[in-house]
Amino acid sequence: MAQYSTTESEKSLLTKHTERHFTAGEIVRDIIIGVSDGLTVPFALAAGLSGANASSSIILTAGIAEVAAGAISMGLGGYLAAKSEADHYMRELKREQEEIIAVPDTEAAEVAEILAQYGIEPHEYRPVVNALRKNPQAWLDFMMKFELGLEKPDPKRALQSALTIAIAYVIGGLVPLIPYMFIPVARKAVLGSVVLTLIALLIFGYAKGYFTGNKPVGSAIQTALIGAIASAAAFGMAKAVQG
């Protein structure tokens, strides 16, 4: 009995650690999504309008409108995605609860099979199976995590994701618009926007590579290159249409 209690304590500590790590990873992912689109889309829009010889005030107005609309759209997308994950978890949780009640022997056999996959011998996992059968909640948690690979979502996750993505989009989207706030001539402002945004893309790409485990320098170059191509395409298209 003491051996099982110790195992439960260790399992509790491991579960808490895993959930904290998972949440941090989701927040970083949301920031990356928001800032990435925020830097690229308004940058391309401003470059395209500059190519069409629009004034700085018009570009700034259109840019701010796009940032507002983009932040709402991206935030809503993040909310729905997180809500869908939570709904999926609850559906699987309900199904697993019903199976534990309806076919406990089958579910116990699945526990044994899972433990056997980790190289645990029958004489070692039988006490675990018996202990889980006496604790339905622990049994359910075990099946959700080890059979289905699902972590219990944070109930605040959907709103948190929406706000994080939206705020990150606004922060990223305002960067390419800053020169247009101070330089009335769009042809001059676009040069400042290009330089400022490319610097921001390089810094953001480096940070993204660092936090996601990729090569930071390669990530920085790739991110800046994508932004440059998008803005160049928009600028060239505007010039072609105007011509």
Q: How far apart are CA 21 and CA 146, in angstroms?
A: 17
- What does the pLDDT average to over 12-16? 46
The string of pLDDT tens digits covering residues 54-70 is 889 999 999 999 999 99
Point out the least confidently predicted range of 38-42, 55-59, 150-154, 155-159.
Answer: 150-154
Tell me the per-residue pLDDT of 107-153, one tens digit each, with 9 for 90 and over: 777 777 777 777 767 666 677 777 777 777 877 787 787 777 777 88
State whether residue 225 is helix, strand or coil. Answer: helix
* Region label for 149, one of left (φ > 0), alpha (ψ between -120 and 50) or beta (otherwise): left
Q: What are 174-188's pLDDT values in tens digits?
A: 999 999 999 988 888
Kindly report the CA angle at 235 between 231 and 237, in degrees rounded to 5? 115
Mean pLDDT calculated for residue range 36-60: 86
Mean pLDDT of the chain: 80
Q: pTM (2 decimals)?
A: 0.73
Residue 179 burial (10 A CB sphere; 0-12, 13-18, 19+): buried
